[in-house]
Amino acid sequence: MIKLPSKLAAKLKSNDLRGITPIAYLYRNKWDAEAGIFKAEEKFIDISPMLVKCGALSGKLEEGEISEYTTSNVTLTLSDPKNLFVEGAPESYFPAGYQIYGSQVELYMGTGPDNMTQLFTGVIRSLPNFKPEKYQLDLVLVSKLELLKDIEAKDFSDKYTGEVLALDHQEDGENPFYRTAHTGVGGFSAVYADGIRLAEGVDYKITGVNTLSSPALVELSNKVLHGQTITADYYIWKRNLQIHEIVDGLLEVANWPSQ
């Protein structure tokens, strides 16, 4: 949520965009050989002169609070007769060692150089849509918060693959139960018998998930599988973390831009 200056808010509310100046700063995604990852540069490139159109922000002026503006995504139309956004071209903004994906754009608007407000910081998650007949391109920017929408709790967990499960117990004539080596199991990705993937609900049943103090149990309901080596892929919940460790972990899973 962004608090807008009253003058800018009034203009946006009335759809009177005359006198509003847009500014866009590009932070390129550059390969960091030492870290072995791409990172957004600290120095920006002013691409404001390339701006042809700033698509409608997927946001709104809240009713009753015209000074508040929410944003998610935005599309910029840029004039690019010099092919500055052609990835891999030596004379472009993205020669070898740079990539468009993951680069960021800061968008400002205001009624004068001393009255600018940062509206949006977007991340480029797809290649530009080039319009060669007009020497233009459309650049879709995604809000950083959008990167968190597809994250599931299991994405932020400790994963175990191919673990041989130990026999927990088996009553005479009953199905055998196998246990995981770890407690706090959140769920299973797969269970195997002698390397063959099994079907949950047909070959086996699972109990004891989401229990921090006990292992999860796999009950073999298909008698043909009794006596075979049972292995599993599963994940366990992290525990005893401080709030900042949880936040940092979620951001890392979401590939949150470093800048």
pLDDT tens-place string over residues 128-179: 999 999 999 999 888 776 666 667 777 778 999 999 999 999 888 899 999 9
Last residue of a domain, one of 132, 147, 162: 147
Last residue of a domain, one of 147, 165, 199: 147
Amino acid, res. 132: P
> How many distinct structural domains can be found in the chain?
2
Please state the pTM of the whole predicted model: 0.59
Instruction: Give CA–CA dist 259/256, Å, rounded.
Output: 9
Same domain, 68 and 33: yes
Q: How many CB atoms lie within 10 A of CB 200?
A: 13
Instruction: Give CA–CA dist 4/25, Å, rounded.
Output: 19
pLDDT tens-place string over residues 54-111: 776 545 555 444 445 556 678 889 999 999 999 999 999 999 999 999 899 998 887 7
Bridge partner list, 157: 237
